[in-house]
């Protein structure tokens, strides 16, 4: 039979039935987020996954996760050719063939065939590829509608992130109009990629797919809003009221899972992450965002000290640095004790300041400090004595130790 009748379909449901006539198996057509938009009639050979997909109008989360882990989604995202998916009996999935509906490198949907009646051959593959090309205009129209809605949501997200906007915007009313659920507990997360532009473009697509399709896999009960800002991914995630104490654990797990997936796909590129405190009012979302930005700023300025820190609550005394730097500049403050050490090191090619910083970082533990500096404890003892003499420093004075620690870090805090 020729391919011409494909040209005459009135909608995607009719196209699905036409494909079924040619390949002799049940067909499902999905959009880019795996929502079912058309399916053919089917007989008794339909497997549980197909039934569940059609009933819920979306591919089950556990099946998508399995497809992702097995590399099937990646194959569909990066190929024009049909992809064969072996049966996965434990999730109720029989053999499948799938092909992406795409334009260039951008995927707009998928055609799935359950091999319920007979295996597909190369002629069937040609039928699927032709059907995918013919379905594209319908999917493009659907994507345009979806894009307009997404743009409105992104604008709303930026309003939530802006303190001034929250004073004039009826948040609850706008959320209702956009069919958005703002959960009882919310937290803003920022992930920033450090990689070449070409890789970042691919990473954006991967992140968009993950956030759009695997929300239930992540530790947050709600992934309400997200958008990209240059090299940053901004996410508004949420939990139910009784889960508020788990917000920090959920944030860390979320970051870990995203980082692990991106590393597996793109290699060990750096992904710096930060998150603010959980808030319970939509009018305070801007606060969580500002806290996350502050963590990100300090992480960039002090990468060694902040290597293991991602949450605002973890900042501790480092939280004081931005305001302290500003205040010191206003008051023209100088730490004369540190200046004496700097002068001595410069004139004598010494390392007293480095030794003092390591000593303070290790909370005065001599053996730990000596190991970090790769020197003998006796050598450390000599250096500490010189530090006290040259800088007129009393290391037994807690007030002096705290001030020295802060001022050393402030010297490195260049933003």
Burial of 369 (0-12, 13-18, 19+ CB in 10 A): buried
Q: Listing from the earlier edge strand, what are the strands of the sheet with 96-103? A: 36-39, 27-31, 106-114, 96-103, 83-85
What structural domains does the chain harbor? 4-143 (3.30.450.40), 162-314 (3.30.70.270), 324-412 (1.10.10.2840)
Rounded Cα distance between 208 and 213, Å, is: 8
Residue 296 structure tokens: 């990100």
Please give the sequence-ordered ranges of beta strands (E in DSSP) within 5-138, or none if there are none: 27-31, 36-39, 83-85, 96-103, 106-114
Q: Do the Cβ atoms of 215 and 293 come closer than 8 Å?
A: no
Which residue stretches of 302-349 are H helix?
A: 321-331, 336-348
pLDDT string in tens for the chain (415-residue length): 444 456 677 788 888 888 988 888 888 998 888 888 888 876 666 778 888 888 877 888 778 878 877 888 888 888 889 999 888 877 778 888 999 998 888 888 999 998 888 889 999 999 999 999 988 988 888 777 767 777 888 888 988 998 765 555 688 888 888 888 888 999 999 999 888 877 888 888 778 877 876 554 567 877 788 899 888 999 999 888 888 888 999 999 999 888 888 887 777 667 899 999 999 999 899 999 999 999 999 999 999 999 999 999 999 999 999 999 999 999 999 999 999 999 999 999 989 999 999 999 999 999 999 999 999 999 999 999 999 999 999 999 999 999 999 999 999 887 6
SS3 (DSSP) at 95: coil
**Look-up: residue for tokens 């937290």?**
187
Residue whose tokens read 């023209």 = 332
- DSSP-derived 3-state class of residue 36: strand
Question: Which residue, among 24, 45, 49, 47, has the nearest Cα to 36 in the 3D structure?
Answer: 49
């Amino acid at each position: 039979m020729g391919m011409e009748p494909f040209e005459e379909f009135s909608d995607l449901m009719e196209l699905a039935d036409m494909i079924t006539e040619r390949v002799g198996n049940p067909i499902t057509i999905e959009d880019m987020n795996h929502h079912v938009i058309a399916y053919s009639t089917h007989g008794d050979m339909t497997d549980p996954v197909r039934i569940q997909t059609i009933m819920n109008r979306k591919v089950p989360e556990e099946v998508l996760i399995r497809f992702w882990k097995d590399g099937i989604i990646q194959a569909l995202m990066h190929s024009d050719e049909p992809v064969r998916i072996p049966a996965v009996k434990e999730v109720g999935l029989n053999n499948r063939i799938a092909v992406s509906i795409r334009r260039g490198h951008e995927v707009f949907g998928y055609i799935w065939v359950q091999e319920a009646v007979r295996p597909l051959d190369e002629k069937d593959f040609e039928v699927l590829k032709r059907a995918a090309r013919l379905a594209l205009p319908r999917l493009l129209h659907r994507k345009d509608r979806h894009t307009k809605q997404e743009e409105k949501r992104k604008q709303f997200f930026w309003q939530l992130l802006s303190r001034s906007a929250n004073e004039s915007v009826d948040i609850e009313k706008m959320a209702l109009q956009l069919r958005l659920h703002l959960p009882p507990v919310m937290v803003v997360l920022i992930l920033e990629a450090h990689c070449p532009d070409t890789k970042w473009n691919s990473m954006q697509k991967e992140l968009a797919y993950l956030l759009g399709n695997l929300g239930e896999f992540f530790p947050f009960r709600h992934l309400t809003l997200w958008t990209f800002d240059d090299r940053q991914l901004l996410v508004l995630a949420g939990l139910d009221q009784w889960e508020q104490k788990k917000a920090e654990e959920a944030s860390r797990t979320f970051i870990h899972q995203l980082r692990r997936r991106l590393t597996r796909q793109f290699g060990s590129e750096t992904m710096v992450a930060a998150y603010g405190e959980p808030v319970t009012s939509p009018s305070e979302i801007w606060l969580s965002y500002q806290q996350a930005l502050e963590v990100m700023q300090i992480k960039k300025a002090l990468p060694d000290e902040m290597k293991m820190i991602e949450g605002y609550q973890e900042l501790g005394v480092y939280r004081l640095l931005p305001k302290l730097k500003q205040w010191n500049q206003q008051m023209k403050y100088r730490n004369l004790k540190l200046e004496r050490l700097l002068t001595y090191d410069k004139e004598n090619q010494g390392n007293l300041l480095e030794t003092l910083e390591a000593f303070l970082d290790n909370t005065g533990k001599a053996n730990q400090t000596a190991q970090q500096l790769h020197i003998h404890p006796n050598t450390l003892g000599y250096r500490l004595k010189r530090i006290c003499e040259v800088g007129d420093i009393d290391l037994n004075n807690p007030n002096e130790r705290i001030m020295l620690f802060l001022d050393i870090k402030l010297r490195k805090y260049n933003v």
